[in-house]
Amino acid sequence: MSEAHQIDIHHVAKLARLALTEDEARRYETQLDGILSYIDTLTRYNLDGVEPTAHAMPVYDVLRSDEVRPGFSQDQALANAPKCLADQFQILKVIE
């Protein structure tokens, strides 16, 4: 680990409520140090005038416009139901 980044990986793990083995702690400490070193590299670039972005490529919503369409009648909706009771779907209990 470089001297520039003093990371208490056990403290970070405690904050994240993670139980790490010593092997995991060493591996994650090395990985986190690498990430922080890369961030140090990125901070050296002059980004004045560069627009912030959330995605590398433009993202467009491809949604169709809403249009009114007829829905199912109650009989049509219940037609393929395995079980019906009082004009409603009957299902197994899923909450105890």
Report pLDDT for 1.
Answer: 47
pTM, entire model: 0.46
* Count of other CB atoms within 10 angstroms of residue 25: 15
Chain centre to alpha carbon of residue 73: 38
Report pLDDT for 94.
Answer: 85
Each residue's pLDDT, cut to its tens digit, for the chain (96 residues) gives 445 678 899 999 999 999 999 999 999 999 999 999 999 998 999 989 988 888 888 888 888 888 999 999 999 999 999 999 998 999 888 887
Report pLDDT for 5.
Answer: 74
Cα dihedral value 10, 16, 20, 22, nearest 10: -20
User: Nearest Cα to 26, choosing from 38, 13, 39?
Assistant: 13
Environment class of residue 9 by beta-carbon count within 10 Å: exposed (0-12), middle (13-18) or buried (19+)? buried
Report pLDDT for 53.
Answer: 85
Residues in the chain, how many?
96
